[in-house]
Amino acid sequence: MHILLRRTVVALTATLCVLAAGCGGDAGGGVAAGPARTLATVTTAASFGLTQDTNFYTIDTGAGLVFKVRRLDNGVSTQSAGDIASLVYNGVEYQDQGRGTQVNSGFDYLYKGISAVDVNAQTVGTDVVRVTVTAGNLTHYYIARRGEAKIYMGTYFTSEPDTLNLARFIVRVPIARLPNGPAPSDLRGNTGAIEASDVFGMPNGETRSKHYSNMRLKDWQYIGATGSNVGLWIVRDNNEGNSGGPFYRSLLNQATSTDQEITYIINYGEGQTEPLRTKILNMYTMVFTDGSAPGPVDTSWLGTLGLTGWVGPEARGAVSGAAITGRDPRFAYTVGFSNAAAQYWAAADATDGHFTSAGMIPGTYTMQVYKNELAVDTRTVTVAAGATTNAGTVAVTGDPGAAAALWHIGDWDGSPAEFINGDKVTTMHPSDVRMASWTPGDYVVGMSTPATGFPAYQWKDVNGTLTVRFNLRQSQIVPLTLRVGITDAYAGGRPKPQVNGWVPANPPASTQPKTRSLTVGTYRGNNTMYTFDIPASELVVGQNVLTLTAISGSSGVRFLSPGYSYDALDLIPTP
């Protein structure tokens, strides 16, 4: 009876809205004109439960959120069985009715040659509804709990979806309903693409891209956007099934003239430094609020639902360290853990470096201590179910910054943040008008500073030769070693030095991600140090001249020419 009553109320309300030419809401909560009126749908959400018809499963959370999952493929390329087709919160429709909220581009396009999608829903007990979507080697869950305006989700796959070679969940909301997202990824009003089809210019010379919504994984717990008295968020769990570690960056959001797209990356193909992980249940939750930020989400209760890939707390272990010695107090330290199955990380205490990483799937892990983003200690630990592995006191011995250098430019910390434009490279294109010049002129040791005298990035076709001038005393005319650190490289780019008249052999290309990186908001790659031993006979008392030239066997134009991101460079006595 309540289903019939609700449908009657909806139909009557829709009729009244047409007669009154209203019921729509603009971004500010007023009355929208024209087609925008069709975005608002009034529905009652007084009771919890699951209903179905030929096309949809409808789940009423009893908390103001009613959502529909498409049961059948309707033949539209932007919609698929398994998609969320409706998201009504407090009477307002937040789902783009022309496209689905879905994994990748739809469940029928996850794997090559596989379009079949199976969707099933059931009530578990009296307070939970579980919807299970299977397509190829992927299983996805939508879960509702009585009285919560949330959709708990889990995605499990035994092989990476291969049509796009990634896995991501995208929420698509009409832009008028959810207009306020991260500014760097707001594409409205752009003048067209300036790189590929995903980096755009603005009339004032600034740049925007979905890539520039990125943050380091360790720095965020939720993402989302807001509108009039509403916030829609994705809250992540421990992110153990992603790949790239605590400092990995990828797109999170995109605002277009039609939609606000909130993107939760499960596995991504851009800038990956390690193989993508499979056979692990990736948990995350869609949360509606009044616009305020979401609080922590408890997902421990999901273990009662028989989800494929679920590993409960009792089957997990931990690693604990009493202290980390040899730290540089200027930097934060992170302890990361990784193997082929999972990844974790923990912040080291600023006082003594103690740390604990809990909730880990049993196995043997590579444990790395990071000074900011540079690994300065690497060892192996084994985690057992129901136990805490004692890592003891970790003594850092691999920090290149601990060496006594004649001079250095930048800090050995795995980041170009201290250099020219280093504070901007993750949120805008290198051509953006807000960037300082990439060709600052000669760097004079003892007079210049990294923030104004040395660029964060160097490209073969932009600032292909950089010059550093430094003085030596007679006592310093001994064999010296030049160390040049990069965090990432594009198209095989690497620095080749010349000191006065001395020219070493070409250094080899480093092993780095094959995709774009420097132009899409990330410098995160495989940190690499190049060392060059300079004979004493090639040095002079007084001024010496170092040139750094970007070399590569590949070519390219401007910011898509071979290049790299600097970590630091210094000159030390040859060990």
Q: What pLDDT is stored for residue 269 in this prediction?
A: 83
Residues 145, 127 contacting (CB under 8 angstroms) = yes
pLDDT at 341 over 60: yes
Dump pLDDT digits (tens) for 134-188: 999 999 999 999 999 999 999 999 999 999 999 999 999 999 999 999 999 999 9
Q: Domains along the chain?
A: 45-302 (2.70.98.10), 313-395 (2.60.40.1120), 400-573 (2.60.120.260)
Strands 150-157 and 138-145: antiparallel
Dump pLDDT digits (tens) for 476-531: 999 999 999 999 999 999 999 999 999 999 999 999 999 999 999 999 999 999 99
| Distance from C-alpha of 30 to C-alpha of 35, rounded to nearest angstrom | 14
Strand order in the sheet with 150-157: 118-124, 128-135, 138-145, 150-157, 282-289, 230-236, 222-227
Dump pLDDT digits (tens) for 223-253: 999 999 999 999 999 999 999 999 999 999 9
Q: What pLDDT is stored for residue 77 in this prediction?
A: 83
User: Phi and psi of 221, rounded to 5°?
Assistant: -115, -20
pLDDT at 7 over 50: no
Q: What pLDDT is stored for residue 250 in this prediction?
A: 94
DSSP per-residue codes, 2-46: HHHHHHHHHHHHHHHHHHHT-----TTSS---GGGGGGB------
Q: What pLDDT is stored for residue 46 in this prediction?
A: 56
What is the band of 12 on the pLDDT scale with cuts at 50, 70, 90? Answer: very low
Mean pLDDT, the chain, rounded, equals 92
Percent of the chain with pLDDT over 90: 90
Q: What pLDDT is stored for residue 27 in this prediction?
A: 32
User: Phi and psi of 541, rounded to 5°?
Assistant: -70, 135
Which ranges in 378-474 belong to alpha helices (H)?
Answer: 450-453
Cα angle at 154 between 153 and 160, to 5 degrees?
A: 135
Q: Across residues 118-141, what is the average pLDDT?
A: 97
Strand stretches in 146-280, DSSP E: 150-157, 167-174, 192-195, 199-201, 207-209, 222-227, 230-236, 253-255, 259-267
Query: Which region among 31-35, 257-261, 423-427, 451-455 has the lowest average model confidence (pLDDT)?
Result: 31-35
Q: What pLDDT is stored for residue 37 in this prediction?
A: 30
Q: What pLDDT is stored for residue 463 in this prediction?
A: 98
pLDDT at 80 over 80: yes
pLDDT at 405 over 90: yes
What does R_g of the chain's alpha carbons equal in angstroms? 27
Tokens representing 476 are 């310093």
pLDDT at 39 over 60: no
